[in-house]
Structure 1
Amino acid sequence: MSDLDRYLNAATRDNTRRSYRAAIEHFEVSWGGFLPATSDSVARYLVAHAGVLAVNTLKLRLSALAQWHTSQGFPDPTKAPVVRKVLKGIRALHPAQEKQAEPLQLQHLEQVVSYLAGEAELARAEDDRPRWLRAKRDGALILLGFWRGFRSDELCRLQIEHVQAVPGAGITLYLPRSKSDRENLGKTYQAPALLRLCPVQAYSEWLSASALVRGPVFRGIDRWGNLGEEGLHANSVIPLLRQALERAGIAAEQYTSHSLRRGFATWAHRSGWDLKSLMTYVGWKDMKSAMRYVEATPFLGMTLARDPLL
């Protein structure tokens, strides 16, 4: 790969690249379309999948087609009026309520963390190292994901070198890039130590248990208790979370990795955080993004409420 290709490749997030590649394959292979495409073929592609694929999925497919054509030097057929009108018609005739992850409520967070702590103690007593490590890892991942409102890919990209934890004080985490950091400037996040459900303590205990000193914070653990070299894949966070919740006796089918982010936003909202403070803490740039994550309850005021956890 040339230096030019390497920099061009770095300009697009891995998840976006994979999604675009799958979208192009769907257009060409699954549907039988031809590239470069015409506006008429793109419109017929939309019609063929209207009511089958969600509108947001169709918009992603259009973005992928647009990117392919512009990168290859062809006119973008997705900008044609007929394509825009067909998409507008699909949105009108096939309205669908946006599916959102169930927010992880504080009592369920406490339930699953308490269960994992008990599981870790039992595993250590039975000299079951793999089970002990998984319990410690999962507890730290869930608590950090909740209290920092991190996305699954952000959790999986955390590097030990970019984390500073001071037990009893707080934790500082640096991410060189994230979805909301369009300019790739990097961003530093902080979270305080808490009286209970503490992410700082959970993180410190996980590092102590795993004996990790550098590289990805959260990794796979094999059946012998060996840790992988690479970080967890973002897609593994959902089954990890659901399995932990189910073992703790919580029905988990409605939960996704976004449940941690939505759970924190809902907790902060109900605790009296004003919208601006919540947006600043989590990293949302616009109000629409923030409101998608917050449970539909009236704002409780414009000041930060005191909570027994803090």
Structure 2
Amino acid sequence: MNSRVDPMTELDRYLQAATRDNTRRSYRAAIEHFEVTWGGFLPATSDSVARYLVAYAGVLSINTLKLRLSALAQWHNSQGFADPTKAPVVRKVFKGIRALHPFQEKQAEPLQLQHLEQVVSCLEQEVQTARAEGDRPGLLRARRDMALILLGFWRGFRSDELCRLQVEHVQASAGSGISLYLPRSKSDRDNLGKTYQTPALQRLCPVQAYIDWITEAALVRGPVFRGIDRWGHLGEEGLHANSVIPLLRQALTRAGIAGELYTSHSLRRGFATWAHQSGWDLKSLMSYVGWKDMKSAMRYIEASPFLGMARITEKSVSP
């Protein structure tokens, strides 16, 4: 019996692992849009790429067009063809589109601390009601959602990071803190893995919420956050990152908050806003959340432009 592994199969496996799943899906969709929707041919010429950009200028956002160019560049490079997106005509057309179709990036509404308190209070009430009524599925969902929202907020995790947490990579100590290891993440470009820590809090505690959830669900290994069916059975796989937004919106809506205004980034932006307004310096905030550059951090911070002026005014009128 020949147990030798085909080296090309292994090569493909490692090449595939170098690209995140979400990026792969986005690139496939972009190539399909160029070929099928627009009717382009691959390999493409710089002229056809420029005409493609013109066709969707003002229709697609600048960020989407940039993604389409990245996908086309990746396809040509991986297939051994010259990259048409680097041609001067493509660069000039893209620059002109940016000038004539300026696009203001939409930001997720940050989840304010008062709304975090409101939704957690609602979920705690759901726990009590479900326990009194013997509603096992409802009890599990309330415990899971509370742990996910509190960890997502206080740790500033992205939805895909929350969904990839494994029980065996988490160590929690009630009243002390929690340590969470992620083998890879978007900010960990070299896939070295990183350990994140968060202390226990007197209220809105992510540590106790996590312990309550895994205890109730009797989880000892595998994904931390999973689907729950109508009978209270837990799925074997972790939640998909796309399911975090509806989960969060539904919990907020039940708490009397306009859930449609929020996305999974609202947890990350909410924490960044709270930390900034609480006096954290930018370097500490970047280190805690995992941002590598200041531009990324500033996109998430919801700061009042009059905050500094208010402090000056307070000093000038104080006795």
Instruction: Calculate the TM-score normalised by the size of structure 2.
Output: 0.93
2:9 is the counterpart of 1:2? yes
Distance 2:283 2:58 in 1: 37
2:92 is the counterpart of 1:110? no
Which residue is equivalent to 1:63? Answer: 70
Q: Is the 8 A contact 1:170 1:190 kept in 2?
A: yes
**CA offsets 1:156-180 (integer angstroms, 9 cap, x no match):** 0000010000000000000000000
Q: Is the 8 A contact 2:170 2:181 kept in 1?
A: yes
Distance 2:251 2:190 in 1: 35
- My pick for the range that moved more, 144-153 or 120-129, is 120-129
2:150 is the counterpart of 1:146? no
- My pick for the range that moved more, 1-10 or 167-176, is 1-10
TM-aligned CA deviation for residue 299 of structure 1: 10
Which residue is equivalent to 2:20? Answer: 13
Q: Is the 8 A contact 2:155 2:289 kept in 1?
A: yes
Which residue is equivalent to 1:304? Answer: none
For residue 2 of structure 1, give the secondary structure of its aligned residue in structure 2.
Answer: helix
Which residue is equivalent to 1:228? Answer: 235
Q: 1:164 aligns with which of 154, 161, 171?
A: 171
Distance 1:278 1:271 in 2: 11
Question: How many residues are aligned here?
Answer: 301
2:141 is the counterpart of 1:126? no
2:137 is the counterpart of 1:137? no
Q: 1:72 aligns with which of 73, 79, 87?
A: 79
Which residue is equivalent to 1:207? Answer: 214
Q: Is the 8 A contact 1:193 1:199 kept in 2?
A: yes
Within 5 Å, which residues of 2 pair with 1:1-310? 2-297=9-304
Q: 1:300/1:198 Cα in 2 relative to 1: closer, same or farther (>3 Å)?
A: farther
Q: Is the 8 A contact 1:269 1:299 kept in 2?
A: no
Which residue is equivalent to 1:305? Answer: none
Q: Quick check: which one's helix share is greater?
A: 2
For residue 180 of structure 2, give the secondary structure of its aligned residue in structure 1.
Answer: strand
Distance 2:10 2:128 in 1: 50
Gapped runs of 5+ residues in structure 2?
1-7, 309-319
For residue 284 of structure 1, give the secondary structure of its aligned residue in structure 2.
Answer: coil
Distance 2:234 2:271 in 1: 29
Distance 1:299 1:124 in 2: 47
Q: Is the 8 A contact 1:137 1:218 kept in 2?
A: yes
Distance 2:196 2:217 in 1: 23
Q: Is the 8 A contact 1:170 1:200 kept in 2?
A: yes
Letter in 1 for 2:240: H
TM-aligned CA deviation for residue 298 of structure 1: 5.7
Gapped runs of 5+ residues in structure 1?
302-310
Distance 1:299 1:226 in 2: 51
Distance 1:66 1:156 in 2: 30
Q: Is the 8 A contact 1:171 1:191 kept in 2?
A: yes
**CA offsets 1:171-194 (integer angstroms, 9 cap, x no match):** 000000000000000000000000
For residue 201 of structure 2, give the secondary structure of its aligned residue in structure 1.
Answer: coil
TM-aligned CA deviation for residue 153 of structure 1: 0.2
Distance 1:80 1:299 in 2: 45
Distance 2:20 2:107 in 1: 23
For residue 191 of structure 1, give the secondary structure of its aligned residue in structure 2.
Answer: strand
For residue 65 of structure 1, give the secondary structure of its aligned residue in structure 2.
Answer: helix
TM-aligned CA deviation for residue 96 of structure 1: 1.5
Please give the root-mean-square deviation of Cα atoms over the aligned residues, in Å: 1.2
Q: Is the 8 A contact 1:152 1:234 kept in 2?
A: yes
| Larger Rg belongs to | 2
Q: Is the 8 A contact 2:180 2:196 kept in 1?
A: yes
Instruction: Calculate the TM-score normalised by the size of structure 1.
Output: 0.96
Letter in 1 for 2:71: A
Task: Work out the percentage of aligned pairs sharing the same amino acid.
Answer: 85
Letter in 2 for 1:73: G
**CA offsets 1:74-126 (integer angstroms, 9 cap, x no match):** 00000001111111111111112110000000000000001001001101111
Distance 1:199 1:263 in 2: 15
Q: Is the 8 A contact 2:276 2:303 kept in 1?
A: no
Distance 1:243 1:278 in 2: 29
For residue 66 of structure 2, give the secondary structure of its aligned residue in structure 1.
Answer: helix
